[in-house]
Amino acid sequence: MKKKWLARLGNVNRELLLIFTIILIAGFINFFLEGQRLVLTLYNLPTLFAGYYFGRRRAVQAALASILIVCWLNLANPAALATAQGPRWHQLMAWSDIAIWSGLLLITAYVTGTLYSLKEQRLRDLREAYNGVLEILSQFIAHDQYTQHHSYRVSVYAAQIARHMGLAEERVEDVRVAALLHDIGKLDVSRNLLYKAARLTDEEIEEMKTHVQKGIARLSPVGGSLRRVLPIILAHHDKFDGTGYRPSRGAEIPLEARIISVADVYDSLVSDRPYRKAMSPFEARDIIVKGSGNDFDPGVVAAFELAFRTQILEVPEVPV
């Protein structure tokens, strides 16, 4: 029962929790310091809601309006906030309380409005990235269905390996997106070269390698959080021992790229290619394990083996 309650509390919107906490704290402070002025807490509500629903600018405007209203109310009817009672020094203390409340209200307006701005920025980033991914993936379907299916399978394998390595869900999502887009540069590579049934010449291999830079060039104009995956895509053909497309090695290669490297090679091995038939999953697994420490990060290979043994490297039907 206790766990269920904790789970529910964890799902509560943190921003709403902050708002209610501020209200409770303000209520207690007003009650213990000056019970008659507890009514001031009610003037916090418009500011909090303005910050949460309309942003920082509206929150500060609401706070200033509330402060002006309270000051006008205190001047017009001092008894309403109990500032007319007692000697003059008591009245000055009451005004100082209002000044402190005004400062705290402005700070609250700024903080709450900032939370709104951050939320909106995240949503804009997600929309930009999502629209960009949709536009790019639509080109896969129209031009190269094999590459689209391969990228989808690699994204599934890579995400499972990343989870087995204990990566945070945000990094797992970066791995998944980068895997979906890692071969986008092949749209600018000759179809004849991609589907050549014989082994590639040295010149053709060099041309094929250009798909990484071409992919980065295609993706660079896309804004938002998608920019985070560009270094991953750029490094997905780098090898752990430094003999890959670029000379980077070991920890110099982003971990997400090291994960995609294993998933990419595994799917290539278990898929039919123009120049050879597919291997069995066990044969492909053995090749991946043999490349540990040279082509692949040993930690990633260990996570891959664990995922392989638990039979979670299974791909659902490719959506088209």
- pLDDT, tens digit, 9 for 90 and up, residues 10-31: 544 554 555 565 555 555 544 5
Whole-number Å distance between alpha carbons of 3 and 212: 47
Instruction: Give 276's strand partners.
Output: 273
Which whole number is the average pLDDT over 85-104? 69
Residue carrying the six token digits 């008591």: 90
Residue 90 has what DSSP assignment?
H
Name which of 169-173, 192-196, 270-274, 302-306 the model is least confident about. Answer: 192-196
**Does residue 149 register a pLDDT over 50?**
yes
Q: Which band of pLDDT confidence, cut at 50, 70 and 90, is reported for residue 320?
A: very low
Regarding predicted confidence, which is higher, 66 or 197?
Answer: 66
CA-wise closest residue to 37 among 6, 68, 81 = 81
Locate 65 and state its tokens.
């309006």
Regarding predicted confidence, which is higher, 265 or 17?
Answer: 265
Cβ count within 10 A of residue 35: 9
pTM of the entire predicted model: 0.62
Give the pLDDT of residue 23. 56
Name which of 28-32, 260-264, 300-304 the model is least confident about. Answer: 28-32
Proportion of the chain above pLDDT 70, given as a percent: 70
Give the pLDDT of residue 214. 86
Query: Is 4 an annotated catalytic residue?
Result: no
Q: Which band of pLDDT confidence, cut at 50, 70 and 90, is reported for residue 286?
A: very high
Residue carrying the six token digits 């090749």: 287
Query: What φ, ψ does residue 276 adopt, rounded to 5°?
Result: -165, 160
CA-wise closest residue to 214 among 248, 183, 245 = 183
Size (the chain), residues: 320
Give the pLDDT of residue 125. 76
**Does residue 315 register a pLDDT over 70?**
no
Q: Which band of pLDDT confidence, cut at 50, 70 and 90, is reported for residue 41?
A: low
Regarding predicted confidence, which is higher, 253 or 8?
Answer: 253
Q: Which band of pLDDT confidence, cut at 50, 70 and 90, is reported for residue 78?
A: low
Options 2, 119, 186, 239, the catalytic residue? 186
**Does residue 236 register a pLDDT over 80?**
yes
pLDDT digits (tens, 9 = 90+) for 162-204: 999 999 988 998 999 899 888 888 877 777 777 776 777 788 8
Give the pLDDT of residue 88. 59
Whole-number Å distance between alpha carbons of 254 and 165: 14
Whole-number Å distance between alpha carbons of 159 and 191: 29
Cβ count within 10 A of residue 202: 7
Regarding predicted confidence, which is higher, 245 or 94?
Answer: 245
**Does residue 62 register a pLDDT over 70?**
yes
Domains of the chain: 13-121 (no CATH), 145-309 (1.10.3210.10)
Regarding predicted confidence, which is higher, 149 or 279?
Answer: 279
Which whole number is the average pLDDT over 37-62? 73
Give the pLDDT of residue 1. 45
